[in-house]
Structure formats: C-alpha cells, structure tokens
Structure 1
Amino acid sequence: MSDLDRFSFNQATAQHWALPDAVAGCAAAGLDKIGLWREPVQAYGVAATAQLVRDAGLAVTSLCRGGFFQQDDWYDDNRRAIDEAATLGTPVLVLVCGGLRPAERDIDAARQHVGDAIGALVPHALDAGVRLAIEPLHPMFASDRCVVSTLGQALDLADPYPAEAVGVVVDTYHLWWDDQVWRQITRAGAERRIACFQAADWITPLPEGVLLGRGLPGTGCVQLRRFREAVDEAGYTGPVEVEVFNAEVWARPGAEILAETIERYLEHVA
C-alpha cells in the first residue's frame, strides 16, 4: 500500500482553486480522492460535478456541510444536502451542527435540538445511503457555529441512531486540546461511529479570524500522527482528509498548495 492510498485533498485547503482545476490537479498528482464543499459544487452543478470527478477517476470522500440546525430551514436544506451527497457518490455528509438561536442561552436545549433534528433526517439518509457525520468543533465556536464541542458529546448524540446512519468526524484541529479524546476515539471505534478523519494543525498565535487558524500539517502544535494512529487502532481504515482554512495558504496557487499538502501529509500524518 502506498502512503498516499488513504490521502484525500479537501478542496477547502485551496479555497480559491476553481473546482474543475482542483479536480484536474488532484488527478494529475496521482490522487484518487477529494473532499468537496456544497457551495462550489452547487455553483458548478451537482450532477456536473459528479460527472467531473468520475471522469477524473476520483472518489468524493465527504461533502461538507449539512447541519446549522438553528436555522429555520434546517430540515429542507439538510435533505437537499443528503441528496447532493448521494448524487456525488460520497458516503459521508459532514454536519456542522450550528450554534444558539438569536437571544438563546440554553446550550443544553440547543444540543437536544441537534439530536432531535438528526433523528428526523435519519430515514432519508438511510434511504439515500449517506451517513450523517457529526463534527464536534472547538468550544470557541459553540455560540454561533456548533454547540457540539467534544467527541463524547457527538457520540452521545449519535447513540440513539444506527451506526450506518450516524457517525462522527474526528478533526484534529477541533479536538487536539481535549484530554478525553483518546478514550473517546477508542469508544467511537468500538461503536463503529468513525465516519471521517480530518487532519489540520493548530497554529500559534491564531490569526484575527479564528476560523482561518488551521495550518498545514507540521506548522503547528498538534500530534497529528498520534491521532492517525489512534483512529487506525480504533478500527478506522477510511480516507485521511487534509482540510485547512488559512488565508496565507489560500493566497498561493492551487497546485503549489496541493504539492506542499502532500509533502507535509507524508511527513507528519501518514
């Protein structure tokens, strides 16, 4: 097995690389996997994107994102997201579950709403053959982006539903700080819940826009290989996506970003 056999380039890492160029760049680099985001897919056309990646010999490892359950249209939008994932042939729809509603302060109630909303989507996800993957985000995002902050919370929300319908995302950027994460990764493996593994580093100091504080592997403080070995030991054998939001990285040409991402993945993750 090649060290790149599990590698998937998430297109968010090269935010300004046009979708057709990103697909062509991955294929030219000898890759066979890519992670996609809904906005550029919708702009290009969902069916057209599915054809594009198939023609390039790529598989879509995940589609991001569903969720944001605090919004009024969460049900219809997430059903559309499930359908888009099915059209693309990806088995994983990443859920960024959303924050508090305006003027809301009850975070426990917000988490309960997330669990109930996921339950409402499970029948459609099962019919479509798409797994809903709950992604816990760092606690600094709890108010506006995701009230699910730990892997344990994500697993608790997934627990009432079949593992083939609801899993979790292990994202190193969001979970590296948690002293319970290793135990929870073991639990996730035992419960067959690991649906997606994403690697990104935590850079210090964080930029002013904390959303853009992800670094390419090896540029920050996260034990990335320890995470990869932990999910492997827990029984996860799926793709390893590198997903980075960083304005300095995005300012570079897409092919250059991809080349460095591959190099750093091999050095610090594989």
Structure 2
Amino acid sequence: MALNQWTTKRWSVKEAVAGCVRHGLPAIGLWRQNVAEQGLDETVPLVKHAGLRVSSLCRGGFLTSPGFEEDNRRAVDEAAALNAACLVMVVGGLPGVVPGEPLGEISRDLRSARNQVADALALLAPYAAQRGVRLALEPLHPMYCADRAVLSTLGQALDLAAPYPPETVGVVVDTFHVWWDPQVFEQIERAGREGRIASYQVCDFLSPLPADALLGRGMMGDGVIDFGPLTEAVAAAGYAGDVEVEIFNADIWAADPDEVVATMKDRFARLVVTRS
C-alpha cells in the first residue's frame, strides 16, 4: 500500500514522508506542487534516505492547453529525478474550459480535443523515453470530460497508448474513475496482456456526491465500490506494483492525518487486498 500525498493534504512532503515511515508504508505518491514547495533537491534525498519508493508523481497532462509541452517536460524531469514509477497524466478537457471557472471562449469539438491529446503524446513520449520515465494515462469518470480529461474509459486510454512501448506509456486503473464501466474487466485484462498497467489507485465513490464532485472520493467502505473483484482483476493482469490510496475529501483533509492513515490501513486490509 502506498500513500498518495493528497489523502493527507495537510502534510507537507517532509511530514508525509515521516508519516509513511511511522506507519510502516513502503511507498508514497507525490504531487508536483508539494514537491516544489519542499524543493526538488531536498525531496529527492528525503525520500531516498527514508527508504521509500515513489509510486507516482502527479501530475502531468492538460495537453489541450496552450504551452503544455514546456510544463510536461519539466514534469518528466522531476519524475526522473525522483525515480518515480510513473508520471500520472491527466490529459485535459475541452480547450478553453478551466476547472472551477465560468465558461468563456471554448471549443466544443470533443473529437478534435482527443486528437490534440494524441498529437501531444507523440511529442512527449520520445522525451519521456529518453529520461526513462513512464507516462501513465489516467482515464477520468465521464463527469470530468469537459474540464479535466477527454479520456473517460480504460479502453480509450489503452488505444491512445498502443503506438508506444509499454515501458514508455502505460495507464492508471483508478477505482473511482473506472468502477462504473461495463467493459472494465475486459479492459483490465487487455491492459495486462499489453503490459500497460502503470498504477493502481483506490478510493471509494460516494453517493450522493458532494456539491463539488471533485471531492466525492471517499475512504474505502464509505461508498458504492466493490473493491475485491477490481483488485483481483488487476492482480490477475500481472500488476505487482504499489497500490495507492488517493482520496480528495474535505472531511478527510480536515481530520488528523495520522488517524486517516490508520483508518486507511485498516480499510485497505479488509476491503482492498485480494481474497486469494
């Protein structure tokens, strides 16, 4: 089990690393803005000396926005410095749509936006390969299609990854985003055949969702997802990497982070690990 840093958002990188050590967690998923606050040059030895793996760096992407290439090259460089297992790519929504902001000048051409993502990936994948970084395409739940990710299914992500070596472009299986998909088990199996699973992330899907749907991710067992079959499918597909708990939730963020991690470990052991 790995702690995604935003599950304990109140913790700085230094505090989160110490928390992982204190709770016996072997890996941490880091966020770029937190690494920048800590300082990349300080974060690299901090994680290394703690004996932690970096299960992911989040995030690159927003490939439908102007100036995407420069920022994503920096993200690749940061992932390389941290020896992260992957750089999570949230590919971006419709051009001009900004998360949380009123609509202005936008494009409603969804097909063109998806083509932009494919074109951008063609520019970034060779650079990632040179730096030894694996890009991990993350399909998001369709409710985020307009503003965050025009990739909504694992199948779409796998199609987009197909032209590239699996060690260069993989996919993220995130329970919050894929649990609803009637093709999810077939696509997890396909991802395994193609060697594409770069990250497995877990949290629950709350019902009803809060007013801010971005914060609708819950602690495992507090929502509607049946984790056992998904975890078994990912394991059967050959994934043996870290499993990140990634939760965006205002109540969890307000709680004591050590209590959050203790609850996370208990729920993970009871609900997420494979039954075999």
Is 1:26 matched up with 2:20? yes
Cα contact 2:12–2:38 (8 A) shared by 1 = no
Given residue 26 of structure 1, which amino acid in structure 2 is its aligned partner?
Answer: C
1:30 deviates by 1.4
* Distance across 1 between alignment mates of 2:33 and 2:228: 31
Provide Cα deviations, 1:124-148, integer angstroms capped at 9, x if missing partner.
1111111000000000000010000
* Distance across 2 between alignment mates of 1:101 and 1:181: 28
Given residue 12 of structure 1, which amino acid in structure 2 is its aligned partner?
Answer: W
1:28-177, aligned counterparts within 5 Å? Answer: 28-102=22-96, 103-177=106-180
* Distance across 1 between alignment mates of 2:10 and 2:23: 18
* Distance across 2 between alignment mates of 1:181 and 1:30: 32
Unaligned runs of 5+ in 1: 1-6
1:10 deviates by 0.5
Provide Cα deviations, 1:154-179, integer angstroms capped at 9, x if missing partner.
00100111111000000000001110
* Distance across 2 between alignment mates of 1:237 and 1:59: 14
* TM-score, length of structure 1 as denominator length: 0.96
Cα contact 2:197–2:239 (8 A) shared by 1 = yes
Unaligned runs of 5+ in 2: 97-105
* Number of aligned residues: 264
1:91 deviates by 2.4
Percent identical? 53
Give the structure 1 partner of residue 223 of structure 2.
220
Give the structure 1 partner of residue 6 of structure 2.
12
* Distance across 2 between alignment mates of 1:47 and 1:229: 38
1:230-269, aligned counterparts within 5 Å? Answer: 230-269=233-272
Cα contact 1:200–1:214 (8 A) shared by 2 = yes
Cα contact 1:133–1:196 (8 A) shared by 2 = yes
Give the structure 1 partner of residue 100 of structure 2.
none
Give the structure 2 partner of residue 4 of structure 1.
none
Given residue 53 of structure 1, which amino acid in structure 2 is its aligned partner?
Answer: V
* Distance across 2 between alignment mates of 1:20 and 1:163: 32
* Distance across 2 between alignment mates of 1:18 and 1:191: 36
* Distance across 1 between alignment mates of 2:228 and 2:47: 29
Cα contact 1:135–1:169 (8 A) shared by 2 = yes
**Matched position secondary structure for 2:11:** coil
**Matched position secondary structure for 1:154:** helix
**Matched position secondary structure for 1:198:** strand
Provide Cα deviations, 1:52-101, integer angstroms capped at 9, x if missing partner.
11111111010000000122110000000000001111120000000011
* Distance across 2 between alignment mates of 1:108 and 1:16: 38
